[in-house]
Amino acid sequence: MVKLLSNSFTTAASIILLHLLSSVSRVNAVALTTPIAANERLCFFADVDKAGEKIGFYYAVQSGGSFEISFDIKDPNDKILLDGQSERQGDYVLTANTVGEYAFCFTNEESTVTQKLVDFDIMVENEPRREASARPGQIADHTSELEESIVRLNGMLHSIKRTQRYFHTRENRGFSIVKSTQIKILWFGVLESLAIVGMAIGQVYILQTFFTRTGRLYKV
Question: Per residue in 8-56, pLDDT tens?
Answer: 434 444 444 444 444 444 445 556 888 999 889 999 999 998 888 889 8
DSSP states of 163-195: HHHHHHHHHHHHHHHHHHHHHHHHHHHHHHHHH
Q: What are phi and psi of 39, to 5 degrees?
A: 60, 20
Whether 40 and 57 map to the same domain: the answer is yes
pTM metric for this prediction: 0.59
Q: Give me the count of residues in the chain.
A: 220
Residues 101 and 196 in one domain: no
Greater model confidence, 173 or 130:
173
Note whether 70 and 45 are same-domain residues: yes
Which structural domain range is residue 68 located in? Answer: 25-129
Report how far residue 104's alpha carbon sits from residue 45's, in angstroms, rounded to the nearest whole number. Answer: 6
Beta bridge partners of 100: 48
Answer with the residue of higher pLDDT: 105 or 162.
105
**In this structure, are 97 and 34 located in the same domain?**
yes
Judgement on whether residues 153 and 123 belong to the same structural domain of the protein: no
Number of domains in the chain: 2
Residue 90's nearest CA partner among 116, 74, 67, 111 is: 67
pLDDT above 70 covers what percent of the chain?
74
Average pLDDT over residues 67-88: 91
Exposure b/e, 119-134, CB count within 10 A at least 16 = b:
bbbbbbeeeeeeeeee
Both 149 and 81 in one domain: the answer is no
Query: Are residues 122 and 60 part of one domain?
Result: yes
The answer to whether residue 177 is domain-embedded is yes
The phi, psi pair for 205, rounded to 5°, reads: -65, -40
Q: Are residues 81 and 154 in the same domain?
A: no
CB 56 within 8 A of CB 28: no
Q: What is the largest CA-CA distance in the chain?
A: 126
When pLDDT is averaged across residues 190-196 and rounded to a whole number, the result is: 92
Residue 17 placed within a domain: no
50 within a domain of the structure (yes/no): yes
Q: Is residue 220 domain-resident?
A: no
